[in-house]
Amino acid sequence: MSILFQGRATGATAVKQSLWSKFVMFWVHHIRQALASLGEIWLTPASSLLTVAVLGVSLTLPVTLHLMVKNLQQVSTSVDQAAQISLFLKADTNETQIAELIALLQANPEVADVQFIDKSQALAEFTAESGFGDALSYIEDNPLPHVMLVSPKNTSSVAASALLNQLQQERYVELAKLDIGWLERLDAIVSLVRQVAIAVALLLMVAVLLVVGNTIRLMILNKKDEIEVMKLVGATNSYIQRPFLYTGIWLGFFGGVLTFLIEEVLLWWLKHAIASVTQLYESTFTLQPLSLSELGYLLLVAVGLGFVGSFLAVRRNISQIEATGL
């Protein structure tokens, strides 16, 4: 397009091209510029590496917190499913009373399942599993009460607590216990960690934007002369800013990859420590690493941050450089 000279054939637009070849050339052009920006990063490895390192480390913290939340949630849901109310019966309860209570419980619509553990059976189990073995044989009377394990139909903590209160009133029940307190605390901690993760993630994302923006700004200032020349020979702002946007995207991408690598190393480092803890709890807990889709999101966010950061820098700085020329 020529503003001054109507009909003057300018640029590649003057050459007749089919729509398809225009489309292909558009992408070829963009890929070429993306690769050129990659080469540009390669030429200034020191500053680019530093920026990528800052991005990688900054993003690692929110990702770690996310993994923490994810794994804690896994613990809390697995426990929640097994929520059981233990009814410890009074010591003088006899067989018929027990049968009566079982029938009563089974008739309760809130109860999914009732399991009765006889006190001698409980003692045998305890002897086998606790490791006190022989020492227990010196005890003459069985000190353990009969226990009923009641599984509530509704395993949410509120419904389970209501059932607990109801069962507490039963005549032969000495003590009803629902081990839900620690579950509630765990839930509260998980949601706290999640809130912290969100806040930290937001703060660090802003930091990443600023870091990328500053890096791109320095790059623009370094190339001030070059940009001036390009403006003098008729380059538009959008043409000049494109390589910088690609640079931002690459920085974000490499930052995301670095985050993933740091995270993997971190998980590998912690795996043994976590395994020894979970072994103590005889838990079947397995550490959940970043899934493929989460890795995808991570890279997407990192690339997005790189793009937005460079866009902010480019918008401000490139239009400010005016051709002083001549």
* Binding span for another protein by CB under 8 A among 101-109, 120-128, 230-238, 273-281: 230-238
State the minimum distance, in angstroms, from the CB of residue 249 to another protein: 21
Distance CA 119, CA 125 (A): 10
Contacting residue, 113, 125, 184, 226, with another protein by CB under 8 A: 226
Between 16 and 272, CB nearer to another protein: 16
What is 240-307 written as a DSSP string? HHHHHHHHHHHHHHHHHHHHHHHHHHHHHHHHHHHHHHHHHTT---------HHHHHHHHHHHHHHHH
Q: Are strands 173-178 and 111-117 parallel, antiparallel or unpaired?
A: unpaired
**Could you identify the residue written with the tokens 């103590």?**
280
Q: Is 133 a binder of another protein (CB under 8 A)?
A: no
Q: Is 11 a binder of another protein (CB under 8 A)?
A: yes
C-alpha distance from residue 325 to each of 47, 86, 212, 219 (Å): 30, 86, 30, 21
* Binding span for another protein by CB under 8 A among 64-72, 87-95, 232-240, 298-306: 232-240
Instruction: Determine the size of the site formed for another protein (CB under 8 A).
Output: 29
Question: 235 with 267: CB under 8 angstroms?
Answer: no
Which DSSP symbol is given to 110?
A: T
Contacting residue, 83, 230, 258, 262, with another protein by CB under 8 A: 230
Between 24 and 261, CB nearer to another protein: 24
Q: Is 8 a binder of another protein (CB under 8 A)?
A: yes
In the region spanning residues 178 to 217, those forming contacts with another protein, defined by CB under 8 A, are none
Instruction: Please report, as ranges, the residues that interact with another protein according to CB under 8 A.
Output: 1-5, 8, 10-13, 15, 25, 29, 226, 228-236, 239, 322-326
